[in-house]
Amino acid sequence: MSEHTWTPSSWHALPAAQQPDWPDPADLDRVLKYVASLPPLVFAGEARNLTDQLARAARGEAFLLQAGDCAESFDEFSADSIRDKLKIILQMAVVLTYSAGVPIVKVGRIAGQFAKPRSSPTETIDGVELPSFRGHLVNAPGFTAAARTPDPERLLAAYHQSAATLNLLRAFTQGGFADLGRVHQWNREFVASSPAGQRYNEVAAGIDRALRFMAACGVDTESDPQLHQADLWTSHEALVLGYEEALTRQDSLTGEWYDCSAHMLWIGERTRQLDGAHMEFLSGVGNPIGCKLGPTATPEEALAICEKLNPGRVPGRLTLVIRMGADTITEGLRPILRAVTDAGHPVVWACDPMHGNTFTSESGHKTRHLEDILAEIGGFFDAHRAEGTWPGGVHIELTGGDVTECLGGSSEVLSGHLDTRYETVCDPRLNGRQSLDLAFRVAELLPKR
Ligand code: TRP
Ligand code: MN
């Protein structure tokens, strides 16, 4: 055990990967002080409730659906886009709940997912070198010096967009929009006309029948809030540590520190150095934490991460998000499952089938094929079946819209279509139809209770 004491700023003493080069440190400082004075976006008690929900996923009694944009955008910020993302997540959750018969813990990559790690700090086009785009939290994507210069005012804009997004999500999920009596209304036109959408309609009809059946049996379906409300928790990659620190607050009930920028935070594949600043920072907050594990991750590393982030072995505290790629997953994951399980560490095992399966199409688009994504999910379930562990969840990049960013699906997106509606500010996302295709596949793979 190290002798040091954790504080919200103790990460400053350690190397912090992927931090923006802010041009004016005094200006950054001024903004961060202001953010630190603003109200928290979530409350510590909510983060504890999510930990309890995730503990069920660690024990094999629930399944995590974590989904949303690769990166949220300041330009795509509207009630419609928030509502459409919520619709597809609710649709997927309904399909999974209905067929697996276990509760689905619904966590959005939303209301704060604004920062991106990059493979190189700069980008060169035609001999011009500029800082890389690091997400709307930091700079803008256009290839000009003005757009690419990190601007601390963006931290404030992100805070406010997160607050407004979260507010609308709370209103929708608690105020009647997520009511199981409205399952049909989440099926948008372009989804409903697809094979997956028609399959969805059958599930929705089954839910209608089940509700009528229960009411006919004398169950009071009107007054049970469980049928009329759903929880959608928020999450993002805790990347820009100054921002996360500014939103880290001490809970008055327990004295513990919580990063109140979201319910759940995760550490990316590029920032999970054991002696790095990100591990240090997140080790001290009480929120549920995720950590990505890529194809090079070893069982020893996985164990060390468990010890660092969850020394108390609290179920639900730690989710390991596996993103190995379709070819590596079955062989790569099994030794890790074994090592962590043998050591008695309770974790939620989640599969990110997106990031290990990205390639560039002939048309020059960064893309992913739904078949590769499903193959990685298949490998993930195989590994768990072989080791006797519970496949605890999936972590997906999607949007509610009718985009053409990923290939394949039951209404197939072909290479020549990619140009039609390629709208992402970062990685390619599944569209509404492909997301439903994926939900049905996961539903088939989930062990029946
Ligand atoms: N409250 C339950 C849940 O969140 C049931 C529920 C209500 C639900 N609305 C939902 C499930 C929408 C999925 C989607 O699981
Ligand atoms: Mn991504």
Ligand 1 pocket residue status of 223, Cβ below 6 Å: no
User: Does residue 131 carry a pLDDT above 60?
Assistant: yes
Angle of helix 153-174 relative to helix 25-37, nearest 10 degrees, comes to 30
Tell me which amino acid residue 350 is.
A
Which residue ranges form the domains of the chain, and what is each CATH number?
Answer: 10-445 (3.20.20.70)
Mean pLDDT computed over 184-204 = 94
Cβ within 8 Å of residue 106, ≥6 positions away: 65, 89, 90, 93, 230, 231, 232, 233
Question: pLDDT tens-digit profile of 68-111?
Answer: 999 999 999 999 999 999 999 999 999 999 998 999 999 999 99
CB 65 within 8 A of CB 319: no
Report the residue among 53, 95, 97 best suited for mutation to probe ligand 1: largest number of ligand atoms under 8 A from its CB.
Answer: 97
Question: pLDDT tens-digit profile of 294-330?
Answer: 999 999 999 999 999 999 999 999 999 999 999 999 8
Ligand 1 pocket residue status of 178, Cβ below 6 Å: yes
Query: Could you please report the per-residue DSSP string of 285-298?
Result: S-S-EEEEE-TT--
The sign of the CA dihedral 363, 74, 21, 322 is negative
Q: Look at ligand 1, atom 8, and give the residue with the nearest C-alpha.
A: 230
Ligand 1 pocket residue status of 103, Cβ below 6 Å: yes
CB 259 within 8 A of CB 285: yes
Taking the CA of residue 183 as reference, the ligand 1 atom at the shortest distance is: 12
Ligand 1 centroid distance, CA of 229 (Å): 6
Ligand 1 centroid distance, CA of 173 (Å): 9
Query: Among 240, 244, 281, which Cα is nearest to 261's?
Result: 244
Measure the CA–CA gap between 55 and 49, rounded to whole angstroms: 10
Ligand 1 centroid distance, CA of 37 (Å): 35
Taking the CA of residue 228 as reference, the ligand 1 atom at the shortest distance is: 7
Cβ within 8 Å of residue 373, ≥6 positions away: 326, 353, 354, 357, 406, 430, 438
CA distances from 349 to 53, 60, 121, 315, 420 (A): 14, 10, 31, 12, 36
Beta carbons within 10 angstroms of residue 329's beta carbon? 25
Mean pLDDT computed over 124-129 = 97
Ligand 1 pocket residue status of 225, Cβ below 6 Å: no
Global pTM value = 0.97
Query: Among 246, 276, 272, 251, which Cα is nearest to 261's?
Result: 246
Q: Which ligand lies nearest the alpha carbon of 178?
A: 1
Q: Please list the residues that pair with 235 across neighbouring strands.
A: 109, 264
Grade residue 1 by pLDDT with cuts at 50, 70 and 90.
very low
Measure the CA–CA gap between 391 and 319, rounded to whole angstroms: 11
H/E run at residue 394: strand 393-397
Question: pLDDT tens-digit profile of 6-29?
Answer: 999 999 999 999 999 999 999 999
* E runs forming strands in 90-178: 104-109, 122-125, 128-131
Mean pLDDT computed over 130-152 = 98
Angular region, 56: left φ>0, alpha ψ -120 to 50, beta rest:
alpha
Measure the CA–CA gap between 114 and 257, rounded to whole angstroms: 23
Alpha helices in 101-240 (DSSP H): 145-148, 153-174, 189-192, 195-216, 225-228
Mean pLDDT value across the chain:
96
Question: pLDDT tens-digit profile of 45-60?
Answer: 999 999 999 999 999 9
Report the residue among 63, 83, 229 best suited for mutation to probe ligand 1: largest number of ligand atoms under 8 A from its CB.
Answer: 229
Q: What is the pLDDT of residue 449?
A: 61
Minimum mean pLDDT range among 218-222, 245-249, 342-346: 218-222
Q: Which ligand lies nearest the alpha carbon of 355?
A: 2
Taking the CA of residue 230 as reference, the ligand 1 atom at the shortest distance is: 4
Ligand 1 centroid distance, CA of 227 (Å): 6
Measure the CA–CA gap between 187 and 204, rounded to whole angstroms: 10
Measure the CA–CA gap between 293 and 110, rounded to whole angstroms: 21
Q: Which ligand lies nearest the alpha carbon of 210?
A: 1
Taking the CA of residue 178 as reference, the ligand 1 atom at the shortest distance is: 9
Q: Look at ligand 1, atom 11, and give the residue with the nearest C-alpha.
A: 94
Mean pLDDT computed over 163-175 = 98
Question: pLDDT tens-digit profile of 339-352?
Answer: 999 999 999 999 99
Ligand 2 centroid distance, CA of 426 (Å): 7
Taking the CA of residue 104 as reference, the ligand 1 atom at the shortest distance is: 15
